[in-house]
Amino acid sequence: METLIINYKSREKRFAYLRDNSIEKIMIDRPEQHSLVGNIYYGTITKVLPGMNAVFVNIGEDKNAYLHRNELPAYLFSADKQKNITSFAHQGEKLLVQVNKDATGTKGPRVTGIIEIQGNNLIYLPNGQYISVSKKIADEQQKARFRKLGSRLTTKEEGLIFRTSSINSTEEEIQQEFDSLRDKYHEMQTKAASLTKPGILYQQDTFLELVANQAVRMKNGEIVVDDLEIKKWLEQKHLTAAVTFYNGKENIFSAHTVEQKLEKALKRIVWLDNGSYLIFDETEALTIIDVNTGKFSGKADYRDTVFKTNLLAAKEIMHQLRLRDIGGIVVIDFIDMSREQDKQAILDIMKQEIDRDDKRTKLIGFTPLGILQLTRKKTKVTLSEALQIKCPTCDGTGRILSPETVAFRLERELLEHRMSDDEAVWIETTPDVKTALLGPEEEHRGLLEQMVQLKLYFSLQHSVEPYYVLKQFGDGDEIAQKAVESY
């Protein structure tokens, strides 16, 4: 049973795709995080990087975009594929580019010069030079008919991709859509000619596009939406799934228990049904997943326990990658397996799960150390990046300095003042740092005051993060009075 829950009537747009009541995909679109993927810009090349075979392009956004040589039409049309980027682009050059990957971390968006304009049945490529048909159209005669039609419609430079939905359209409808997409591109060119600085030419509603793509792929089940206009829009798509309108007071996600499941998708530890668990650590460079047996001890021998745990983990890992929309490099530390057939079985399960993924995923295999590597296409921020921020205490590391570390830092700083004319120091700190510095029952106070040649007075503040502040040095009575007054 497939279910698509669409929460559209608030500023934050969301949809959740469930299969057998298990969330397979979550999509969130916020005004401040609106995806640029699909947007077309009039840009200016600001810097050519011969060593990277790439250029930086000013597109009028906060960060310059990155464009590789292989994404330039001039390179695709060239007979010599060995030439450097300097043969195809120069600083100050104006060009049309389309975003194919959002900015992440410190990196700007990634763009291509190969423009794609999407319609309901077609994808028009002004500089594509090829005709393609969706792999989901299995009938070879139908494919041949579309290729012939595409060749008749396009010029030598143009390209065309027939989407799965085109199978339900007449040639006349396809012709009309093709003409409309071509006109849209010509309008962009005209607009670009009138611009004096980089800017946007076409903004794609990525969220609705993704909703439509997900809805079209559903073979049965139900689509539930909380906006009547979106319901009517979906009904015009000739979907096989039923579309219903939700008008309850409770938020549609909460009413369908999606909100609770969403919270679980943000947790670092994911428990498996047999008591074992996974640990997810996301970094900017890669995602590390650790598999642990946890409470599961098994009923057979150790190797069988390990294999069953890894098998269950493999399925859940692929589910979590889709759910969290994790992209880039992923390394998985499965529990060590001594039998090669067990490793192959894990690879087979991973391949089956990858076939269900709509993001391009490449399974690299096991390293000599038993670490499984894979890569998954990343086009936007992950679920955790969209919903969470870095911890202001640990700055996103997940760890903070211990009270003992902070206490010894304090001791070293106090030692730097031991030759001064001051008699005392007023220190603001946390109770655990004071305890670490002076010891239980302040047993080290006398020795420490003798070492630093200062009388120590404290005012204590409760804080999640251990810290200290040297408030004031000076006369002993004055400092003692201020420390007392601070309580």
User: Would you report the helix, strand and coil content of the chain in percent, each value rounded to 5?
Assistant: 35, 25, 35
Helices marked H in 335-444? 340-354, 383-387, 403-415, 431-438
Q: What's the pLDDT score for residue 300?
A: 62
Q: With 90 as the cut, is the pLDDT of residue 11 above it? A: no
DSSP 315-338: HHHHHHHHHHT--EEEEEEPPP--
Helix or strand (DSSP H, E) at 478: helix 476-485
pTM for this structure? 0.68
Q: What's the pLDDT score for residue 301?
A: 73
Rounded to whole angstroms, how far apart are CA atoms 409 and 78? Answer: 62
Q: What's the pLDDT score for residue 430?
A: 96
Q: What's the pLDDT score for residue 486?
A: 73
pLDDT, average across residues 409-414: 94
Q: With 80 as the cut, is the pLDDT of residue 458 above it? A: yes
Q: What's the pLDDT score for residue 397?
A: 75
Q: Which of 200-209, 280-289, 348-357 has the weakest average pLDDT?
A: 200-209
Q: What's the pLDDT score for residue 470?
A: 95
Higher pLDDT among residues 169 and 432, named by residue:
432
Domain residue ranges of the chain, discontinuous segments joined by +:
2-32+205-260, 40-202, 268-385, 403-485
Q: What's the pLDDT score for residue 104?
A: 80
Q: What is the percent of the chain with per-residue pLDDT over 70, rounded to a whole number?
A: 98
pLDDT confidence tier of residue 484, bands split at 50, 70 and 90: confident
Q: What's the pLDDT score for residue 443?
A: 93
Q: What is the percent of the chain with per-residue pLDDT over 90, rounded to a whole number?
A: 62
The β-bridge relationship of strands 455-460 and 94-101 is unpaired
Q: With 90 as the cut, is the pLDDT of residue 311 above it? A: yes
- Of 71, 73, 76, 78, nearest to 109 by C-alpha is 71
- Domain 2-32+205-260 matches domain 403-485 at the CATH topology level: no
DSSP classification of residue 473: E
Q: What's the pLDDT score for residue 386?
A: 81
The structural architecture, per CATH, of the domain 2-32+205-260 is 2-Layer Sandwich (3.30)
Rg (CA), the chain: 30
Domain 40-202 has CATH 1.10.10.10: no
Four-way CATH pick for 268-385: 2.60.60, 3.30.110, 1.20.1070, 3.40.50 = 3.30.110
Q: What's the pLDDT score for residue 69?
A: 96
Q: With 70 as the cut, is the pLDDT of residue 429 above it? A: yes
Interhelix angle for 140-153 vs 171-194, to 10°?
40
pLDDT confidence tier of residue 296, bands split at 50, 70 and 90: low
| pLDDT, tens digit (0-9, with 9 covering 90-100), for 33-50 | 778 889 999 999 999 999
* CATH code for residues 403-485: 3.40.1260.20
Higher pLDDT among residues 307 and 295, named by residue:
307
Those residues whose C-beta lies under 8 Å from the C-beta of residue 90, and which sit 6 or more positions away, are 45, 48
Rounded to whole angstroms, how far apart are CA atoms 321 and 332? Answer: 12
Q: What's the pLDDT score for residue 380?
A: 79
| pLDDT, tens digit (0-9, with 9 covering 90-100), for 133-165 | 998 888 899 999 999 999 999 998 999 999 988
Q: With 80 as the cut, is the pLDDT of residue 294 above it? A: no
Q: Is the dihedral of CA 369, 372, 375, 380 positive or negative?
A: negative
pLDDT, average across residues 3-17: 92
| pLDDT, tens digit (0-9, with 9 covering 90-100), for 191-246 | 999 999 999 999 877 788 889 889 988 888 999 999 999 999 999 887 889 999 99
Q: With 70 as the cut, is the pLDDT of residue 487 above it? A: no
Q: With 70 as the cut, is the pLDDT of residue 186 above it? A: yes
| pLDDT, tens digit (0-9, with 9 covering 90-100), for 52-86 | 999 999 999 989 999 999 999 999 888 898 999 99
pLDDT, average across residues 248-272: 88
